[in-house]
């Protein structure tokens, strides 16, 4: 589960462009003025999974998130390795479905996202619907778009601790401003 500590050249460039374009002084002043007291909305981590991307449903899922009031703090389309998927889903490493799950998650491009809104973690789980789309409520993303239990269109963090781990697993701090 060791991840490379250095950025690849593309991300290095993105980092430099981003830093150069930041109104750093303005941000610092605002942080000092409001940072300690401002009520910030909750953040959660989400993935549009490879089945939904392959089925051309990424746009429709983003529209659902938008309609429900989630702000997209950061988003990145990426094909992840099995090793990265194993680290991400390490909590399930002893489960019988672990190998199939990590094969599936590394089978094609997906969208990694950090989302923000009041009560984001619970509200996203509600909007996603049950893990098995056959049991998901009408109107939920999994009911509308998922293929099956194993290929269920969307991931969402299930608690504040997992949201913090999952956001940090995929995104650097400078991508979350």
- Sites of contact with ligand RTP (CB under 6 A): 92, 97, 101, 131, 149-150, 152, 155-156, 158
Give whichever of 73 and 156 is closer to ligand RTP, judged by the CB atom. 156
83 has catalytic annotation: no
Give whichever of 140 and 152 is closer to ligand RTP, judged by the CB atom. 152
Give whichever of 14 and 130 is closer to ligand RTP, judged by the CB atom. 130
Give whichever of 71 and 92 is closer to ligand RTP, judged by the CB atom. 92
User: What is the nearest approach in angstroms of ligand RTP to the Cβ of residue 69?
Assistant: 20
Detail the DSSP E strand segments found in the chain.
Answer: 42-48, 71-78, 110-117, 154-156
H-only helix segments in the chain: 9-21, 24-34, 50-54, 58-67, 82-88, 98-105, 120-128, 141-145, 160-170
The two structure tokens encoding residue 15: 């980092």
Cβ-proximal residue to ligand RTP, closest one: 131
Among 114, 134, 130, 142, which Cα is nearest to 52's?
A: 142
Q: Which of 155, 156, 166, 171 is catalytic?
A: 155
User: What is the nearest approach in angstroms of ligand RTP to the Cβ of residue 154?
Assistant: 7
The two structure tokens encoding residue 17: 């462009």
Give the span between the Cα atoms of 122 and 81, in whole angstroms: 28
The two structure tokens encoding residue 88: 């991400």
Q: Kindly state the DSSP code that residue 36 receives in the 8-state scheme.
A: T
- The answer to whether residues 151 and 107 touch, using CB atoms and an 8 Å cutoff, is no
User: What is the nearest approach in angstroms of ligand RTP to the Cβ of residue 92?
Assistant: 6
User: What is the nearest approach in angstroms of ligand RTP to the Cβ of residue 174?
Assistant: 26
What is the set of active-site residues?
155
């Amino acid at each position: 589960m060791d991840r490379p500590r250095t950025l690849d050249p593309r991300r290095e460039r993105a980092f430099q462009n981003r830093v150069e374009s930041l109104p750093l002084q303005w941000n610092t002043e605002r942080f000092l003025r409001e940072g300690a007291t401002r009520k910030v909305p909750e953040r959660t981590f989400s993935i549009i999974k490879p089945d939904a991307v392959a089925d051309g449903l990424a746009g429709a899922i983003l529209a659902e998130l938008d309609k429900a009031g989630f702000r997209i703090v950061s988003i990145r389309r990426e094909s992840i390795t099995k090793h990265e998927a194993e680290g991400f889903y390490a909590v399930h490493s002893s489960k019988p479905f672990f190998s199939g799950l990590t094969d599936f998650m590394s089978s094609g491009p997906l969208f990694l996202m950090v989302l923000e809104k009041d009560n984001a973690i619970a509200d996203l789980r509600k909007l996603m619907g049950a893990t098995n789309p056959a049991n998901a409520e009408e109107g939920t993303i999994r009911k509308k778009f998922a293929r099956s239990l194993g290929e269920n269109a969307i991931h969402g963090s299930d608690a504040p601790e997992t949201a913090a781990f999952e956001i940090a697993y995929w995104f650097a701090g400078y991508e979350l401003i």
